[in-house]
């Protein structure tokens, strides 16, 4: 996955030579085919293993009394979930760009979360410097995938908060400072639970999760979508504030 410096470099290269984006798409397509073949080949023996376990249990019910029988089935189910998550990550390799009003998109997301905000007594808000509005009203991007990414981060923020806390979204324009190109900044902040430093180090790594019942895919998908837009996503957390910052090239 890209670092912010790599994302800036790619954004500049694509801007100077649009054909470079086609080359990137070709590399991604090759990678997708390889991953699909890998997942497919793993799923075949896994399906046979699941069928064999079910057959043994049907023919020999006493097998369920074996000490490690349930553990074996849990491991198979875990492998099945990992394969499903790998397929999900693999399908997120393409974006379909169109001119999008990001302010409208984010306001629609906020409206969808308002019932939850009221019920959990969380203050949910968005701020935007009027001088920056023009940069957000006509941005070329994959609106569906960015909506999924923003929603994922807001959902995570709600999970980290308690009644009386807030979830705040701030939009800003960062002008070009050579060699860094101009960018749109979308920050999603909350004053809920601190994210430990050791968690932050791997928070965007696929299949790494510290959340009970989590799969480690949600934030990895966010990172992948932002990478495909030649942007970057980072997180900073203290006892008073946790902020996820998305930077998108203009």
Q: Residue 113: what pLDDT?
A: 93
Chain segment 1-25, per-residue pLDDT in tens: 556 666 667 667 776 776 777 776 6
Q: How far is CA 154 from CA 103, 124, 145, 158, in A?
A: 15, 10, 14, 6
**Nearest alpha carbon to residue 236 among 208, 196, 207:** 196
Q: Residue 7: what pLDDT?
A: 62
Q: Are 85 and 122 in contact (CB under 8 A)?
A: no
Q: Compute the average pLDDT of residues 77-101.
A: 76
* Of 72 and 149, the one with more pLDDT: 149
Q: Residue 213: what pLDDT?
A: 53
Q: Residue 98: what pLDDT?
A: 93
Q: Residue 94: what pLDDT?
A: 76
CATH architecture label of 19-91: Orthogonal Bundle (1.10)
Q: Residue 26: what pLDDT?
A: 74
Q: Residue 51: what pLDDT?
A: 84
Predicted TM-score (pTM) above 0.85: no
The alpha-helical segments, DSSP class H, found in 137-191 are 143-160
Q: Are 86 and 34 in contact (CB under 8 A)?
A: no
d(CA 243, CA 187): 6
Residue 104 CB neighbours (<10 A): 12
Chain segment 157-187, per-residue pLDDT in tens: 999 999 999 999 999 999 888 777 789 999 9
Sequence ranges of the domains in the chain: 19-91, 98-249
Q: How confident is the model at residue 210 (pLDDT cuts 50, 70, 90)?
A: low
As beta bridge partners, residue 166 has 123
Q: What is the CATH number of domain 98-249?
A: 3.30.565.10
Residue 32 has pLDDT above 90, yes or no: no
Q: Residue 31: what pLDDT?
A: 67
Report CA Rg, the chain: 22
- Lowest-confidence region among 90-99, 138-147, 232-241: 90-99
Chain segment 120-161, per-residue pLDDT in tens: 999 999 999 888 999 999 999 999 889 989 998 999 999 999
The alpha-helical segments, DSSP class H, found in the chain are 4-16, 19-59, 69-91, 102-120, 133-136, 143-160, 197-200, 218-228
Q: Residue 3: what pLDDT?
A: 61
Q: Residue 108: what pLDDT?
A: 93
d(CA 222, CA 208): 14
Average pLDDT, the chain: 83
At 78, list the tokens: 């875990």
Q: Residue 143: what pLDDT?
A: 92
The residues, ordered by sequence, that sit 6+ positions from 244 with a Cβ below 8 Å of its Cβ are 153, 157, 187, 188, 189, 233, 234, 235
Q: Residue 144: what pLDDT?
A: 87
End-to-end CA distance of the chain: 20
């Amino acid at each position: 996955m890209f670092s912010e410096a790599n994302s800036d470099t790619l954004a500049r290269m694509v801007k100077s030579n649009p054909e470079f984006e086609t080359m990137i798409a070709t590399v991604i397509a090759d990678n997708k085919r390889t991953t699909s073949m890998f997942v497919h080949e793993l799923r075949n023996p896994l399906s046979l293993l699941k069928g064999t376990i079910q057959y043994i249990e049907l023919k020999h019910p006493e097998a369920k009394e074996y000490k490690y029988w349930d553990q074996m089935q849990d491991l198979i189910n875990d492998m099945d979930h990992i394969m499903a998550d790998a397929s999900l990550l693999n399908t997120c390799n393409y974006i379909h760009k169109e001119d999008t009003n990001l302010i409208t998109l984010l306001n629609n997301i906020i409206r969808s979360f308002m019932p939850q905000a009221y019920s959990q007594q969380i203050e949910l808000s968005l701020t935007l410097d009027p001088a920056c509005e023009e940069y957000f009203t006509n941005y070329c991007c994959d609106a569906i995938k960015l909506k999924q990414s923003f929603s994922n981060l807001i959902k995570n923020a709600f999970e980290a908060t308690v009644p009386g806390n807030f979830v705040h979204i701030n939009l800003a324009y960062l002008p070009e400072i050579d060699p860094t190109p101009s960018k749109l900044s979308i920050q999603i902040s909350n004053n809920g639970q601190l994210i430990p430093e050791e968690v932050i180090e791997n928070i965007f790594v696929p299949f790494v999760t510290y959340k009970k019942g989590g799969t480690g895919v949600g934030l990895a998908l966010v990172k992948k979508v932002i990478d495909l837009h030649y942007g970057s996503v980072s997180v900073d957390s203290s006892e008073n504030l946790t902020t996820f910052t998305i930077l998108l090239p203009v």
